Structure 1
Amino acid sequence: MDDDTTTGIPSRNARPPQAQAALGVGVLVRDGRGRILLGRHHSGTWELPGGKVDATHESVAEAAARELREETGLRVGADEVRVLAMLHDSVHGINRVTMAALVDITAAVPEVTEPHLITTWQWIRPEELPAPLFDPSAQILAAWRPDLGIAHPPVHRLDITPEADQEESYSD
């Protein structure tokens, strides 16, 4: 039953939570030469492909594949997306949760499919990152490669355990 019959108040499971978070995904796209894909936003920052996870029906991996296709024209399946970490910070009192995802592509030419947002996509060696970086992209890049010493706003990090590791931990 969805309502408490004595009070008429919906049960906890039927009430929507108060919105206090935004869930997104940033996609590290790595080519066969070890370079990563960054886009130059009209504001001047460089960023990874990515965006919001659709709340109605998609997984983080599906959102990563969709955002990559929508923003660059590059196509991968959700099964080719590896989620590395969950990053969490706060912007203007809203919790921002960014899922860091990695996709390996051997050879591809990205397209500027949203010219009102991005002026160019470029393959860049991680050791030669341009500045300034969009904060969530900087946080993802630093989580992926802490050795690069990328400056970024503070962020909480939760590493995602690969499925194979999860299976091994349950087999004891």
Structure 2
Amino acid sequence: MLGTLLDRVGDVLRLTASVLITRLSGIPQQREEAIGSWRFWSLSALPQPLFVPSTQCLTVWNPVLPLDHPRALFQPYASPGR
């Protein structure tokens, strides 16, 4: 877990957990009707516009990515002994 992001859109306060997955097998499956589809994208070919919390998570993971997004408060995860 990289940490959590906190931002506000109008009257809605959003809390997003950012997680870095280093190994994956299988095919992602859609579990919510509100989500159009799940796909894998290379960083050089990300679709636009991205879901804002996804953009915020990507730039926490890699701050040099050229992605524009509203500011969010990031609280990094600190594991014990780190």
TM-score range, shorter chain: 0.7 to 0.9
For residue 109 of structure 1, the aligned residue among 27, 38, 42 is: 27
TM-score (norm 2): 0.78
Q: Which one has a bigger Cα radius of gyration? A: 1
* Distance in 1 of aligned mates of 2:80 and 2:44: 30
Identity of aligned residues (%): 30
Q: Which blocks of at least 5 consecutive residues in structure 1 are unaligned?
A: 1-82, 166-172
Q: Which residue of 1 aligns with 2:8?
A: 90
Higher-helix-fraction structure: 1
1:150-165 alignment to 2 at 5 Å?
Answer: 150-165=67-82
| RCO comparison, higher one (Cα < 8 Å, 6+) | 2
- Give the secondary-structure state (helix, strand or coil) at the position aligned to 2:39: strand
Higher-strand-fraction structure: 1
Shift of 1:107: 2.8
Indicate the RMSD between aligned Cα atoms, in angstroms. Answer: 1.9
Letter in 1 for 2:60: A
Q: Which blocks of at least 5 consecutive residues in structure 2 are unaligned?
A: none
- Is the contact made by 1:127 and 1:148 (CA closer than 8 Å) also made in structure 2? no
Number of positions where the alignment pairs a residue of Structure 1 with one of Structure 2: 82
- Give the secondary-structure state (helix, strand or coil) at the position aligned to 2:29: coil
